[in-house]
Structure 1
Amino acid sequence: MLTPYECRCGRSYAPAADRWRCDCGGLLDLPLAAVAWPPRAGTSSIWRYLDAGDLPWREITLGEGGTPLVEEDGGLHLKVEFASPTGSFKDRGAVVLVALARALGAARLIADSSGNAGTAVAAYAARAGVAAEIFVPAGTSEKKLLQIRGHGAEVTVVEGSREDTAAAAVARVEQSGAFYASHVYNPYFHEGTKTYALEIFEQLGGAVPATLVLPAGNGTLVLGAHRGFAELRAAALIDRVPRIVAVQAERCAPLAAAWAAGLDEPGPVRPGRTLAEGIAIADPARGSRILAAVRDTGGAFVTVGEDEIAAASAALAARGLWVEPTGAVSYAAVRRLRGAESPLLTGGPVVAPLCGSGLKASL
Structure 2
Amino acid sequence: MTALPDYFCPTDGTRVPPGTLAWCCPVCRGPLDLDFSPNPGPLKSLAGRVNSLWRYAESLPLPAPDFSLGEGRTPLVPLDGGISAKLDFLMPTLSFKDRGAVMLAALAARLGPDRVIADSSGNAGTAIAAYCARAGLPCTVYVPAGTSPKKLEQIGAHGARLEIVHGGREQTALTAREAADEPGTFYASHVYNPYFLHGTKTYVLELWEDLGGRLPDALVVPVGNGTLLLGAALAVRELHSAGLIAKAPTLYAVQAAAVAPLAEAWRAGADEPLGNTPMVPTFAEGIAIPQPPRARQILRTVRGSGSAFLTATEAQIAAAQLDLAGRGLYVEATGVACWAAVRDGALGERTAVVPLCGAGLKSGLASV
**Taking structure 1 as reference, are residues 52 and 15 closer, same or farther at Cα in structure 2, changes over 3 Å only?**
farther
| Match of residue 271, structure 1, among 279, 291, 296 | 279
What is aligned with 2:244? 237
State whether residues 61 and 198 of structure 2, in contact with CA within 8 Å, keep that contact through their aligned partners in structure 1: no
Read off the aligned partner of 2:147 and give its amino acid letter.
Answer: T
Amino acid of the structure 1 residue aligned with 2:127? A
Quick one: structure 1 residues 89 and 101, their matched pair in 2 at CA, closer, same or farther if it must change by over 3 Å?
A: same
Give distance in 2, aligned partners of 1:53 and 1:108.
Answer: 24
Distance change in 2, residues 1:54/1:306 (3 Å): closer
Tell me which residue corresponds to 2:216: 209
Match of 2:360 in 1: 358
Pick closer, same or farther for the CA change 1:54–1:351 going to 2, 3 Å. Answer: closer
1:22 corresponding residue in structure 2: 25
Tell me, yes or no, if the aligned pair for 2:36 and 2:61 is still in contact at 8 Å.
no
Whole-angstrom distance in 2 between the partners of 1:26 and 1:69: 35
Q: CA deviation at 1:187?
A: 0.4
TM-score, reference length from structure 1: 0.95
CA distance in 1, matches of 2:312, 2:293: 22
Alignment of 1:277-296 (within 5 A): 277-296=285-304
Shift of 1:46: 0.7
Shift of 1:58: 3.0
Q: Report deviation, 1:237.
A: 1.1
Partner of residue 142 from structure 1, selected from 131, 144, 149: 149
Tell whether the 8 Å contact from 1:55 to 1:103 is kept in structure 2 after alignment.
no
Map 1:313-324; keep pairs closer than 5 Å: 313-324=321-332
Deviations along 1:113-170, whole A, 9 cap, x unmatched?
A: 0100000000000000000000011111100000000000001111112110000101
Match among 220, 223, 232 for residue 227 of structure 2: 220
Q: Deviations over 1:269-306 (max 9, x none)?
A: 11210011100101000011111111111110011111
Confirm whether residue 11 of structure 1 aligns to residue 14 of structure 2.
yes
Identity %: 53
Letter in 2 for 1:352: V
Corresponding residue for residue 349 of structure 2: 346
- Return closer, same or farther for 1:269/1:170 CA change in 2, 3 Å cut-off: same
Residue of structure 1 equivalent to 2:266: 259
CA deviation after TM superposition for structure 1 residue 240, in Å: 2.5
**Structure 1 runs not aligned, ≥5 long:** none
Residues 271, 304 of structure 1: CA spacing in aligned structure 2 closer, same or farther, 3 A cutoff? same
Match of 2:308 in 1: 300
Name the aligned partner's letter for residue 174 of structure 2.
Answer: A
> Which TM-score applies when normalising by structure 2?
0.93
What are the ranges of 5 or more consecutive residues in structure 2 without an aligned counterpart?
Answer: none
The match for 2:205 is 198
Amino acid in the other structure paired with 1:33: S
**Aligned mates of 2:363, 2:266 — CA distance in 1:** 30
1:335 paired with 2:343, answer yes
Are 1:118 and 2:114 matched, yes or no? Answer: no
- Could you tell me how far apart the structure 2 residues matched to 1:314 and 1:150 are? 29
Aligned to 1:127: 134
Contact residue 64 and residue 92 of structure 1 kept, 8 A: yes
- Bigger mean CA deviation after superposition, 39-48 or 104-113: 39-48
| Cα RMSD (Å) | 1.6
Deviation at 1:32, TM superposition (A): 5.5
Question: How many corresponding residue pairs?
Answer: 357
- Aligned residue for 1:239, secondary structure, equals coil
Question: Distance in 2 between the 1:46 and 1:162 partners?
Answer: 30
Moved more, 232-241 or 63-72: 232-241
The separation in 1 between residues aligned to 2:149 and 2:34, in whole angstroms, is 35
* Partner SS state of residue 327, structure 2: coil
Q: Which amino acid aligns with 1:170?
A: R
Q: C-alpha distance in 1, partners of 2:220/2:175?
A: 32
SS of 1:143's partner is helix
Shift of 1:174: 1.7
Pairs within 5 Å for 1:146-161:
146-161=153-168
Deviations 1:286-334 (A, max 9, x none): 0111111111111100111111110000000000000011011011011
d(CA) in 2 for partners of 1:60, 1:345:
43
Distance 1:247 1:129 in 2: 36
Alignment equivalent of 1:326, drawn from 330, 334, 344: 334
User: In structure 1, which of residues 309, 319, 340 is the aligned counterpart of residue 317 of structure 2?
Assistant: 309
